[in-house]
Structure 1
Amino acid sequence: MDRITLRLPPDLTHRFDAAAADQGGRSRLLRRLMEGAAQAPLPTPREGPPTARSGKLTLRLGEADLRLLEVEAAAMGLSRTQWSAALIRRRLHDRPQFSRPEALALIEVRRELRRIGVNVNQIARALNTTVMDGAVLDLELAQLGAFQAEISAWVDALGEAFEGNLAYWAPAS
């Protein structure tokens, strides 16, 4: 028989073992899942650009370097492989590399900027379509100024996030 080996995070292994316990164990459940997948019709090849291939890079490090790598990766919330790949991608593509929490935070920033932009558009539309007395107009203009300040603060924060990320992955000088 052939053998397939894969590496899994411990929590996934524990959850799979729990699911497999009532089904005859790991091997039996895996065999059943693979047989089901093999019975499914093969997807028809689609026209278009070829799918991106990935390659495997094996890297051997000394114990001290491996420990330092694990500390750095854990500090970023990444696995050793994810951290190493991010470092390589940063150097190859000269773009920031974000961990999952950082990426989620940037998505939230984008959401906030969009919300603010919608509010600014509503105020601008209202200012363009209505005739207002001085006090109401001053209030609306003040609110626009507050939104402008908030947008500037978010844009500055984004710039700092990108600069900090680029500095983190930059080679030590």
Structure 2
Amino acid sequence: MDRLTLRVSPDLLRRFDAAAADQGGRSRLLRRLMEQAAQAPFPEPVRSPPAAGSGKLTLRFGQPDLALLEAEAASTGLSRTQWTVALVRRRLHDRPQLTRHEALALIEMRRELRRIGVNVNQIARALNTAVLDGRVLDLEVAQLAAFRDEIAVWIDSLGEAFQGNLAYWSARV
């Protein structure tokens, strides 16, 4: 005999089991409903072609491994499917796989670097167009040095973020 597997919400399963209790059980009621459905005329299904370049992969894990997978995925804020896809993509494409939180943090870093870059451009433009006395020039140069240091910190942070991400998704020995 063939087997049919489907996912249903716990509430739907509870209600179905209650209905199936006096019908001979879950399997018997399902077979009866399927027989009835197979006898009824159905319109020809309209099948949409599968999305280009996509496919489905089904993995089966034992309960201990599944529990570990779910815990690891939850610790990163991903579902187990998202976590597994990220792991496979990391190995296939050799590039970081970012969670939503990480992506938002990197977007914020980009904004900060852009803000600093705009300030540096404004200072450089002022230095190129103005004749400044020694004290004002020293302040501008000091501000440029502070921006340079801040940019270096952000760039180091980005590098650490990417290295940490790559290390997380790499094979553990």
TM (normalized to structure 2)? 0.71
Q: Which moved more, 1:51-60 or 1:96-105?
A: 51-60
Q: Which residue of 1 aligns with 2:129?
A: 129
1:119 aligns with 2:108: no
> Structure 2 regions of 5+ residues with no counterpart?
1-5, 11-50
Deviation per CA, 1:95-114: give whole Å up to 9, x if none: 00010010000000001100
* Matched length: 128
Instruction: Report which of the two structures shows the higher radius of gyration computed on alpha carbons.
Output: 2
CA distance, structure 2, for counterparts of residue 8 and residue 162 of structure 1: 39
Distance 1:79 1:133, change over 3 A: same
Counterpart amino acid of residue 88 in structure 1 = V
Superposed CA RMSD in Å reads 2.0
Q: CA deviation at 1:163?
A: 0.3
CA distance 1:111–1:52, change in 2 (3 Å) = farther
Give CA deviations for 1:78-128 in whole Å, capped at 9, x if unaligned. Answer: 000000000000000000001001000000000110010000000000000
Displacement over 4 Å in runs of 4+: 6-10
The one-letter amino acid paired with 1:100 is R
The CA distance in 2 between the partners of 1:108 and 1:7, in whole Å, is 39
What amino acid maps onto 2:153 in structure 1? Answer: A
Looking at structure 2, the residues matched to 9 and 157 of structure 1 have their Cα atoms a distance apart, in angstroms, of: 43
* Aligned twin of 1:105: 105
Residues 107 and 138 of structure 1, relative CA distance in 2, 3 Å threshold: same
Which whole-Å CA distance do the structure 2 matches of 1:9 and 1:155 have between them? 46
Structure 1 distance, partners of 2:9, 2:89, is 23
State the identity %.
Answer: 73
User: What is the CA distance between 1:52 and its match in structure 2?
Assistant: 3.9
What pairs with 1:69-88 in structure 2 (closer than 5 Å)?
Answer: 69-88=69-88
Deviation of the 1:8 alpha carbon: 9.9
Cα separation, partners in 2 of 1:154 and 1:142, compared to 1, 3 Å: same
Residue pairs, 1:32-43, within 5 angstroms: none
Displacement of 1:138 in angstroms is: 0.1
Q: Which runs of 5+ in 1 are unaligned?
A: 1-5, 11-50
* Structure 2 match to 1:148: 148
Counterpart of 2:54 in structure 1 is 54
